[in-house]
């Protein structure tokens, strides 16, 4: 008997359109994200990739000009009918610029679990901090100064702290919004390493301006242009033999 690899769709997007102030930013998008994969999204500016990402955990809701149509399912549950706070607990997000909260490293990590009522005992908090920092491959660098201010860390460390902070609330999906646009190549490499480590346990959607980064970490890659999904497929195939000419042009740097 042939054992079929289990491929469950973690996120399914159906006919999603997004508008900013009446202007179409994303048009009739249909795409799925498979469990435990890294889906990378590439595309030039204004291609709708960030709008898409921010729709997945409803961070767009705070923008009064924003409107949307269609449906997004997380494990067969429509996220637009979910409680946004609960959704954001399950779908964590990492921003372009590392934004540690203005407190110590330790407090940064226990902040969300405490607020969400996941922990109350000091020993549990210690465990969560250690585990999260280890998963974000930061533990060895900061274990001796957990109580110093997070603002004093380097950019790459701050970004990994932000990853650890998300891991502390045990999400199912992690969204990365150009996580290395403000980092040097070595810090970028470290963030990419932790991403590949993380996909064993989490599903990851990565928006990046760096085409090479997509080819390094992505299992599948989607190419967005002017609010439309042009092509999505296995990263290897997209980079070697794209079906659409526009994809090839973008990847080889002829435009964008």
Report the interface residues with other proteins, using CB under 8 A.
57, 59, 62, 85-89, 92-93, 95, 97, 99-103, 111-112, 115-116, 151, 162, 165-166, 169
Work out how close the CB of 40 gets to other proteins at its nearest, in angstroms, rounded to a whole number. Answer: 20
Work out how close the CB of 83 gets to other proteins at its nearest, in angstroms, rounded to a whole number. Answer: 10
Beta-carbon count within 10 A of 75 CB: 14
Distances (CA, A) of 82 to 6, 27, 74, 77, 140: 27, 23, 10, 8, 38
Nearer to other proteins, 31 or 166 (CB): 166
Work out how close the CB of 99 gets to other proteins at its nearest, in angstroms, rounded to a whole number. Answer: 4
Nearer to other proteins, 166 or 251 (CB): 166
Work out how close the CB of 138 gets to other proteins at its nearest, in angstroms, rounded to a whole number. Answer: 17
Burial class (CB in 10 A: 0-12, 13-18, 19+), 56: buried
Please give the Cα distance from 14 to 162 (Å, whole number): 30
Please list the residues that pair with 94 across neighbouring strands: 176
Which residues lie closer than 8 Å to 88 by C-beta, 6 or more apart? Answer: 57, 58, 59
Please give the Cα distance from 32 to 39 (Å, whole number): 9
Work out how close the CB of 88 gets to other proteins at its nearest, in angstroms, rounded to a whole number. Answer: 4
Nearer to other proteins, 157 or 246 (CB): 157
Which residues lie closer than 8 Å to 236 by C-beta, 6 or more apart? Answer: none
Work out how close the CB of 16 gets to other proteins at its nearest, in angstroms, rounded to a whole number. Answer: 20
Work out how close the CB of 21 gets to other proteins at its nearest, in angstroms, rounded to a whole number. Answer: 14
Nearer to other proteins, 112 or 251 (CB): 112
Nearer to other proteins, 172 or 249 (CB): 172
Please give the Cα distance from 247 to 231 (Å, whole number): 7
Q: Where are the alpha helices (DSSP H) in the chain?
A: 49-56, 84-90, 105-115, 122-135, 139-142, 155-167, 185-198, 211-217, 235-240, 245-251
Nearer to other proteins, 68 or 220 (CB): 68
Nearer to other proteins, 166 or 183 (CB): 166
Backbone angles phi, psi at 157, to 5 degrees: -65, -40
């Amino acid at each position: 008997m042939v054992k079929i690899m289990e491929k469950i769709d973690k996120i399914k997007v159906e006919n999603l359109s997004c508008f900013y102030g009446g202007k179409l930013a994303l048009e009739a998008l249909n795409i799925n994200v498979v469990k435990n994969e890294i889906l990378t999204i590439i595309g030039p500016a204004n291609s709708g990739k960030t709008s898409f990402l921010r729709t997945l955990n409803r961070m767009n809701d705070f923008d009064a000009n924003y409107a949307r149509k269609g449906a997004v399912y997380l494990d067969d549950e429509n996220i637009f009918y979910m409680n946004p706070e609960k959704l954001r607990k399950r779908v964590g997000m990492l921003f372009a610029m590392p934004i540690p909260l203005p407190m110590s490293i330790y407090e940064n990590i226990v902040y969300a679990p405490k607020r969400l009522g996941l922990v109350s005992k000091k020993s549990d908090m210690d465990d969560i901090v250690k585990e999260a920092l280890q998963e974000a491959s930061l533990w060895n660098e900061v274990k001796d100064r957990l109580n110093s201010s997070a603002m004093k860390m380097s950019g790459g460390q701050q970004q990994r702290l932000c990853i650890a902070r998300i891991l502390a609330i045990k999400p199912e999906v992690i969204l990365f919004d150009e996580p290395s646009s403000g980092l040097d190549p070595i810090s970028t490499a470290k963030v990419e390493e932790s991403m590949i480590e993380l996909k064993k346990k989490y599903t990851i959607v990565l928006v990046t301006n760096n085409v090479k980064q997509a080819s390094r970490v992505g299992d599948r890659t989607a190419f967005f242009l002017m609010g439309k999904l042009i092509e999505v497929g296995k990263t290897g195939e997209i980079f070697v033999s794209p079906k659409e000419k526009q994809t090839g042009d973008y990847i080889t740097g002829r435009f964008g």
